[in-house]
Amino acid sequence: MQHASAPLVCLSDTIFAAHEVTCPASSGHELTDISDVAVLGGKIIVLRRSMPQLVSFELNGEYEDSCSLPNVVFGHGLRTLPGNRLALTDMDGHKVLILDASFSVVQTLSPDGLPRHLQPFNHPTDCTQSTEGIFYVADGYGNSCVHMFDGAGQHLDSFGAPGIGPSQFSTPHSILIDHQNRVCVADRENDRVQRFDLQGQFIDEIGGLHKPMALGLRSDGALLVTDQTPRLSVYSPERELVGRCRTFGTYGHGIATLQNGGIALAEMLPSKLRIFRACKRFNSVKAPYRPVAV
């Protein structure tokens, strides 16, 4: 259910209305403990850190259903994968669950759920998959690296180490693969997003962020990044900042894009699901800034 009025925000050439989405009283629960959000099969799927862990909505924000996953200890990341599947990263269960469209577990990465220093996993945060079938897992709070697995779940390689230099991480908090097949990692405490090739070789980084939290990808290839300012930033594939607005919780912990150009945000403190819906578009955007002669 959406509230009648909504604040407006601007991202690049588009004005969005930021609608808060809630569960009806008949559902028997509230949208508390939100951690992440994804879009699958025309539905918005919200990940919570308590049961029921998954709550689904229609794209218009109407509540649909919920699902409990008793074997999930503390869900952190939720991301859509190729093949109409979801990757649910269980931070304190030290595993990644691959779910089908009915939320059934079809595969588990690290099935024993035991934490390991410098090995998969030690409080992982997020998982994505390439079109070639390779899984990339940000690992996360106990480790400072990214692990690679083949489609069968066999560990192939890892990259990254604690630190502040290239290919080093503090807390790799969110991960995705962009349209140029670059692995993008939100390196939260280092205030940046690092980009790597599919083999884990460092390419470059995006700075000017304050503790980046969540990564999303628009259909045009633009990278969406939330941080703890709190704000949402949009970067072109060439790293140019092309849009920026505030978010309404202390920070946006999860983000997903809708087919109609809208944006779903999983916000924390307070815990809210918010949908940005486009309501006005400008013909062009011209930067108001000009260099000053000295």
pLDDT in tens, 165-210: 999 999 999 999 999 999 999 999 999 999 999 999 999 999 999 9
The pLDDT-based confidence of 22 (bands split at 50, 70, 90) is: very high
CA dihedral 100, 227, 33, 279 (to 10 degrees): -70
Closest CA to 216 of 150, 282, 273, 266: 266
- Residue 56 is predicted with a pLDDT of 97
Assigned CATH topology for domain 8-281: Neuraminidase (2.120.10)
CA distance 278 to 259: 12
Q: What is the mean pLDDT of the segment spanning 125-131?
A: 98
Backbone angles phi, psi at 188, to 5 degrees: -60, -60
CA distance 236 to 224: 9
The pLDDT-based confidence of 30 (bands split at 50, 70, 90) is: confident
CA distance 140 to 132: 23
Contact indicator for 217, 181 with CB cutoff of 8 Å: no
- Residue 294 is predicted with a pLDDT of 46
Q: What is the pTM of this model?
A: 0.94
Domain map (residue ranges) of the chain: 8-281
